[in-house]
Structure 1
Amino acid sequence: MDDSAFRPTHVAPPDGLASWAAPDPAQPAAPLDALLPLQLVGRTGDWAQVLCSNGWTTWVDGRLLVSLPGVPPSATAPPARTADPRPALAEAEGALARYRSLLEDLAAGGADLETFRERAHGLRIGLVVDGERLWVFDPVHDRWCYCDGLQLRTYAVGGRPSPPAGRVPGADEPTRVAEP
């Protein structure tokens, strides 16, 4: 995969997403993590073929994808202290260092697989860098943020809106768009 070609168009829903090797319910594959950045590759009916940020391609129920805005939000003002991307990057670096340490301990025989899983439980890291653009997962606020080099803005959030009164949740839901 050409890393520079990955452009997220969607994210997996906040609860994660089941996937399949082909547009066939009899061919299940590994589930996708919550809010994983995805690029829509194609559609067949309700099925959507997606390219994951790690280069893996799979099929999902396209009706459940959370759409991202076509053009990332642009910064129009100087960065505010709360919009500074450096704390989010520091958190991602710390989480990655913790994960690397857990892997090294597992590889060296200092921990078994169950201990590794227990220690890694709840650790969430997400980072996509594409030139000057950055998408970083903020686990504190359960959201993906976008940075254009000047300002960090919310790109996709983990929470779901409440359904309108009288509607059954999930019934004929359109693709949801995360507002910048």
Structure 2
Amino acid sequence: MSKAPGPGFRPTHVVPPRGMPAWEAPDPARPTVPLDPLLPVQLMERRGDWSHIRCANGWAAWVDGRHLIAVPEDPPAAEGPAGTADPRPLLARAAEALADYRAAVGELTAGALDGEDFADRTRDLRIGIVVDGEKMWLYDPEESRWMYGDGRRLTTYATDRPVTGDTDAGHAPTRLVASDGEP
């Protein structure tokens, strides 16, 4: 269905906070796996209301482009002011969440968990990481925001919470709003 992205992958949009359906082609009769909430995607093509998007892992799909949330600004420049966070603690939390998920998958496949127990055990896990060379987009589930990092620092890239007057490195994060207008 798609090719792996080259080094040129740069999110241009994110999926709405409640996720969204996706299709193999711009045809409602060909649904595929729905997209996760706040997933960074790159817009590749538009055909009317249809948008062909690519994810960081190379997977591509068609979506109703009217519901994608544009990320209007480039990530902060590496030569800009220092970011607000050391990426290592957030990376460690992401590694722990992934280890918890991997353990639950192991127990599910071994028959030690049934589907309902698996869903209960993984319900509150949130992990999101896109790494492209030295660039990184990392989801911070405690703050409901995507962070951009260059290996040395993290700055807020997009959030689904109200944006205050505080910004990271002079970069006002994109505010994500649900398609019904509610944050």
The answer as to whether partners of 1:14 and 1:159 remain within 8 angstroms in 2 is no
Larger strand share, 1 or 2: 1
Query: What is residue 178 of structure 1 aligned with on the other side?
Result: none
Structure 2 equivalent of residue 25 of structure 1: 28
The farther-off stretch of 40-49 and 111-120 is: 111-120
SS of equivalent residue, structure 2 residue 22: strand
Partner of 1:66: 69
**In structure 1, the residue corresponding to 2:34 is in which secondary structure?**
strand
User: What is the alpha-carbon root mean square deviation over aligned residues?
Assistant: 2.3
TM-score for the superposition, normalised by structure 2: 0.79
Q: Give 1:21-60 correspondences, 5 Å limit.
A: 21-60=24-63
Question: Is contact 2:12-2:42 (8 Å) kept?
Answer: yes
Q: Identify the match of residue 143 of structure 2 among 138, 141, 155.
A: 141
Bigger relative contact order, structure 1 or 2 (CA pairs below 8 A, ≥6 apart): 1
Structure 1 gap ranges (5+)? 162-168, 174-180
The Cα of 1:70 is off from its aligned counterpart by 5.0
Tell me the TM-score normalized by structure 1.
0.80
Q: Give the distance between the partners of 1:109 and 1:34, measured in 2 at CA.
A: 29
What is the aligned partner in structure 2 of residue 176 from structure 1? Answer: none
- 8 Å contact from structure 1 (residues 36, 53) kept in 2: no
Alignment length, in residue pairs? Answer: 163
Q: Distance in 1 between matches of 2:17 and 2:128?
A: 14
Shift of 1:113: 2.1
SS at 2:98 equivalent:
helix
Partners of 1:62 and 1:89 in 2: how far apart? 31
What is the CA-CA distance between 1:38 and the residue it aligns to?
0.7
> Residue in 1 aligned with 2:124?
122
Query: For residue 139 of structure 1, what is the amino acid of its counterpart?
Result: P
* Unmatched tracts of structure 2, length 5 or more: 164-177
Q: Using the aligned pairs only, state the percent identity.
A: 51
